[in-house]
Amino acid sequence: MILAPVVPSRLAELSSLLRSMNEAPGAVDPNNPLVPFAQFDTLHFARFVILDDQTVGDLRIYGFPVRHHPLYLAFLADIDGEEEVFLNELVRRAPDGLRAIFSCCHGFASDTDLMSWIKLLRCPASAAYVNTRGRTVRRIREEAALQDAIESHLASQASSFESLPPRKIHALLKRFVEAEKSAGRLTLSGEEPTPVGWQIRKILHLLGMPLLLLLISPLLILIAPFYLFQLRRLEKTDPEPYIVDADDHFNALAESEDHDVTNPYSALGTLKPGLLRLMTLRGVLLVIDYATRHIIQAGRLGRVRTIHSARWVLIGGTERLGFFSNYDGGNEAYMDDFINKLGFGLNIFTSNGIGYPRTDWLLLGGSADERRFKEFQRRHTVLTQVWYKAYPGLTAVDLERNTRIRRGLEFSSIGEEEAREWLTLL
CB of 296 to another protein, least distance (A): 6
Binding test (CB under 8 A) with another protein, winner from 10, 202, 282, 404: 404
Rank residues 189 and 424 by Cβ distance to another protein and give the closer one.
424
Rank residues 320 and 401 by Cβ distance to another protein and give the closer one.
401
- Residue 192 binding another protein, by CB under 8 A: no
Instruction: Give the span between the Cα atoms of 224 and 205, in whole angstroms.
Output: 25
Closest to 322 (Cα-Cα) out of 293, 350, 290: 350
Closest to 371 (Cα-Cα) out of 214, 244, 258, 263: 244
- Residue 201 binding another protein, by CB under 8 A: no
- Residues forming beta bridges with residue 49, ordered by sequence position: 74
Rank residues 202 and 420 by Cβ distance to another protein and give the closer one.
420
- Residue 273 binding another protein, by CB under 8 A: no
- Residue 328 binding another protein, by CB under 8 A: yes
- Residue 241 binding another protein, by CB under 8 A: no
Report the C-alpha dihedral over residues 109, 111, 116, 120, rounded to 10 degrees.
-20
- Residue 125 binding another protein, by CB under 8 A: no
Rank residues 238 and 328 by Cβ distance to another protein and give the closer one.
328
CB of 421 to another protein, least distance (A): 8
Binding test (CB under 8 A) with another protein, winner from 100, 276, 383, 426: 426
Binding test (CB under 8 A) with another protein, winner from 74, 128, 301, 399: 301
Residues 132, 399 contacting (CB under 8 angstroms): yes
CB of 169 to another protein, least distance (A): 6
H helix runs in 351-395, sequence order:
370-380
- Residue 260 binding another protein, by CB under 8 A: yes
> Scanning residues 353 to 392, which ones bind another protein (CB under 8 A)?
368-371, 391-392
> Scanning residues 136 to 165, which ones bind another protein (CB under 8 A)?
154-155, 158, 161-165
- Residue 261 binding another protein, by CB under 8 A: yes
Binding test (CB under 8 A) with another protein, winner from 174, 202, 329, 362: 329
CB of 328 to another protein, least distance (A): 7
Instruction: Give the span between the Cα atoms of 358 and 271, in whole angstroms.
Output: 14
Closest to 285 (Cα-Cα) out of 348, 334, 375: 348
Rank residues 276 and 296 by Cβ distance to another protein and give the closer one.
296
- Residue 341 binding another protein, by CB under 8 A: yes
CB of 130 to another protein, least distance (A): 14
**Residue 328: how many other CB atoms lie within 10 Å:** 21
Instruction: Give the span between the Cα atoms of 407 and 341, in whole angstroms.
Output: 29
- The torsion region of residue 316 among left (phi > 0), alpha (psi -120 to 50) and beta comes to left
Rank residues 88 and 340 by Cβ distance to another protein and give the closer one.
340
- Of 180-188, 206-214, 253-261, 271-279, the window that binds another protein (rule: CB under 8 A) is 253-261
Binding test (CB under 8 A) with another protein, winner from 115, 145, 169, 206: 169
Rank residues 149 and 426 by Cβ distance to another protein and give the closer one.
426
Q: Residues with Cβ < 8 Å from 172, sequence gap 6 or more? A: 161, 164
Residues 162, 329 contacting (CB under 8 angstroms): no
Instruction: Give the span between the Cα atoms of 307 and 346, in whole angstroms.
Output: 14
Rank residues 111 and 247 by Cβ distance to another protein and give the closer one.
247
> DSSP code of 242?
-
Rank residues 323 and 422 by Cβ distance to another protein and give the closer one.
422
Instruction: Give the span between the Cα atoms of 303 and 329, in whole angstroms.
Output: 16
3-class SS of residue 234? helix
CB of 142 to another protein, least distance (A): 16
- Residue 227 binding another protein, by CB under 8 A: no
Cα dihedral sign for 324, 329, 333, 339?
Answer: negative
| N-term to C-term CA, the chain | 38
- Residue 400 binding another protein, by CB under 8 A: yes
Binding test (CB under 8 A) with another protein, winner from 300, 316, 360, 406: 300
- Give the length of the chain: 426
Instruction: Give the span between the Cα atoms of 51 and 11, in whole angstroms.
Output: 12
Distances (CA, A) of 169 to 161, 182, 402: 7, 20, 17
Chain contacts with another protein (rule: CB under 8 A): 27, 154-155, 158, 161-166, 169, 244, 247, 250-251, 254-255, 257-261, 295-297, 300-303, 305, 328-330, 332-333, 336-337, 339-341, 344, 368-371, 391-395, 397-398, 400-401, 404, 420-421, 423-426
